[in-house]
């Protein structure tokens, strides 16, 4: 057991009936709080939940594209901004949303308090930009809830118990804040409010006839998230799974039923063959020679690179990693002194589905579909419930649409 892994350090006994009944954690993403009017709508939703009798904790993201703008500012003043200062900077966005929402709630006649991640007791390790939550010290939140207040927690951030510095959790990290809080507070559900009606069989922006999925298991959502379905951050699903927090992905503006994500059980036995087609437009693919896998992946882990696909042949090792990790990965490879090349013209299309385990022929149909569409897939990798194909970035959209159609997901 490591002490830096929140999943391995349960903050609470989740089965304890004395846990606060009626606590709800509601997370609102960046587009849901993009302007003052939307913030006021969110405030009204929080007040309605409070008036319904719940103890309400809201986790907010930064308004609209604030995080991107702050990152852009940093890169205008420095080629390689200090990771510590970058976290100081980008953690500000979520603070703005929370303070503004608290003001709007006050005007609706309710008590509310905004808290930074640090004030809310979100304790992390010290990996700037990719910190992991190691503990949630929820005393201050509980006191505010006991006093009848709506508590607004700035998402995506925490504080290192070692350096006392502000940290951030990685892009989309407000989802992880929300789920960790739901676990620590004993909330039965963590509600993820976003700009789509739930989790779909493909990104609804790319495939207009994509279908909303009513129910997914943690495993399926984990594969979808880690393969690029932006709708939930991968890490948040890992925390939800290990603390058995049920997730409900729902629209901020609208009343659609949304998508439930929970542990697989017998009611899910009749699994659809494929749950969805997920894509990532860019992913860097590295080819490395002259190093053992242990040394290579040890160095990459040390640099906190999230390695995805790995293919090893007798002559070389091929692996992929997110575009955001490019600078760190290149530095780690240079430090190793090995010979390497990187391809930056590939993206990835993945088919995910628990039903795949017991149905042969998914791979055959996938390759036939790509071939018929004239799309080359130079690297293919699989898990029991996923087939992932690296294809040229320019062909990603077409590949998603062709596979969605071929597997009749619409």
What is the Cα–Cα distance from 159 to 294, expressed in whole angstroms?
A: 32
Choose which of 199, 240, 288, 354 interacts with ligand ADP (CB under 6 A): 199
Q: Taking CB under 6 A as the rule, does residue 155 contact ligand ADP?
A: no
* Interaction of residue 62 with ligand ASP, rule CB under 6 A: yes
Q: Does 194 bind ligand ADP (CB under 6 A)?
A: yes
The DSSP string of 265-314 is -GGG-S--S--EEEEES--EEEEEESS-HHHHHHHHHHTT-----EEE-S
Pick one of Mg ion, ligand ADP, ligand ASP, none as the site partner of residue 259 (Cβ within 5 to 8 A by kind): none
Stretch that binds ligand ASP, among 45-53, 172-180, 213-221, 279-287 (CB under 6 A): 172-180
Q: CB of 63: closest distance to ligand ASP in angstroms?
A: 9
Buried b or exposed e, range 257-274, using 16+ CB within 10 angstroms: ebbbbbeeeeeeeebbbb
31 binds, among ligand ADP, Mg ion, ligand ASP, none (CB under 5 to 8 A by kind): ligand ADP
Among 276, 322, 347, 353, binds ligand ADP (CB under 6 A): 276
Question: What would the two tokens of residue 79 be?
Answer: 């080629």
Taking the least distance from each CB to ligand ASP, the nearer of 176 and 369 is: 176
Structure tokens at 376: 């080359």
Residue 382 near residue 389 (C-beta atoms within 8 A): no
Distance CA 118, CA 153 (A): 9
Q: Distance between CA atoms of 80 and 75, rounded to whole angstroms?
A: 7
Structure tokens given for 21: 């009944």
Among 229, 299, 318, 379, binds ligand ADP (CB under 6 A): 229
Is residue 172 a contact residue for Mg ion (CB under 5 A)?
yes
Residue 200 interacting entry, from ligand ADP, ligand ASP, Mg ion, none, C-beta within 5 to 8 Å by type: ligand ADP
The binder of 62, among ligand ASP, Mg ion, ligand ADP, none, by C-beta within 5 to 8 A per type, is ligand ASP
What 3-state DSSP class applies to 92? Answer: helix
Smaller CB separation from ligand ASP, 6 or 156? 156
Site string for ligand ADP, 284-323 (x = CB under 6 A): ----------------------------------------
Residues 5-34: x where in contact with Mg ion by CB under 5 A, - otherwise, as a string: ------------------------x-----
Count of Cβ atoms closer than 10 Å to residue 312 Cβ: 12
CA dist 279 → 111, 114, 400, 405 (Å): 42, 36, 7, 15
230 counts as binding ligand ADP under rule CB under 6 A? yes
- Dist CA 312 CA 239 (whole Å): 30
Smallest separation (angstroms) from Mg ion to the CB of 123: 22
By CB under 5 A, name the binding residues for Mg ion: 29, 172
């Amino acid at each position: 057991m490591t002490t830096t892994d929140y999943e391995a350090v349960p903050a609470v006994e989740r089965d304890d009936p004395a846990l606060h009944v009626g606590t709800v954690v509601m997370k609102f993403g960046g587009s849901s709080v993009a302007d003052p009017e939307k913030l006021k709508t969110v405030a009204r939703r929080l007040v309605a939940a409070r008036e319904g009798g719940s103890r309400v904790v809201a986790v907010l993201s930064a308004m609209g594209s604030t995080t991107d703008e702050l990152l852009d500012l940093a890169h205008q003043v420095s080629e390689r901004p200090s990771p510590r200062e970058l976290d100081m900077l980008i953690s500000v966005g979520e603070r703005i949303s929370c303070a503004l929402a608290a003001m709007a709630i006050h005007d609706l006649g309710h008590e509310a308090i905004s808290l930074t991640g640090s004030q809310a007791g979100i304790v992390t390790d010290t990996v700037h930009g990719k910190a992991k939550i190691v503990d949630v010290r929820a005393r201050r939140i509980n006191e505010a809830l006991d006093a009848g207040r709506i508590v607004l927690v700035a998402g995506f951030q925490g504080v290192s118990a070692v350096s006392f510095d502000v940290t951030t959790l990685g892009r989309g990290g407000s989802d992880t804040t929300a789920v960790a809080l739901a676990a620590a507070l004993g909330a039965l559900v963590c509600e993820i409010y976003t700009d789509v009606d739930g989790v779909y069989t493909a990104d609804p922006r790319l495939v207009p006839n994509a279908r909303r999925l009513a129910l997914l298991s943690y495993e399926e959502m984990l594969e979808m998230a880690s393969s690029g379905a932006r709708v939930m951050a991968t890490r948040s699903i890992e925390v939800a799974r290990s603390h058995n927090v049920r997730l409900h992905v729902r629209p901020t503006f609208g009343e659609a039923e949304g998508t439930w994500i929970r542990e697989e059980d017998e009611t899910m036995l009749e699994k659809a063959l494929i749950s969805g087609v997920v894509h990532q437009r860019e992913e860097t693919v590295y080819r490395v020679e002259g190093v053992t896998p242990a040394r290579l992946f040890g160095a990459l882990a040390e640099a906190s690179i999230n390695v995805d696909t790995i293919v090893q042949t007798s002559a070389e090792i091929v692996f992929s990693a997110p575009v955001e990790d490019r600078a760190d990965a290149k530095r780690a490879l240079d430090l190793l002194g090995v010979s390497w090349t990187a391809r930056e013209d590939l993206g990835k299309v993945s088919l995910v589905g628990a039903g795949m385990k017991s149905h042969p022929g998914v791979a055959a149909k996938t390759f036939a579909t790509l071939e018929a569409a004239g799309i080359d897939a130079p690297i293919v990798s699989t898990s029991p419930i996923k087939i992932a194909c690296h294809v040229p970035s320019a062909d990603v959209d077409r590949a998603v649409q062709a596979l969605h159609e071929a597997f009749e997901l619409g």
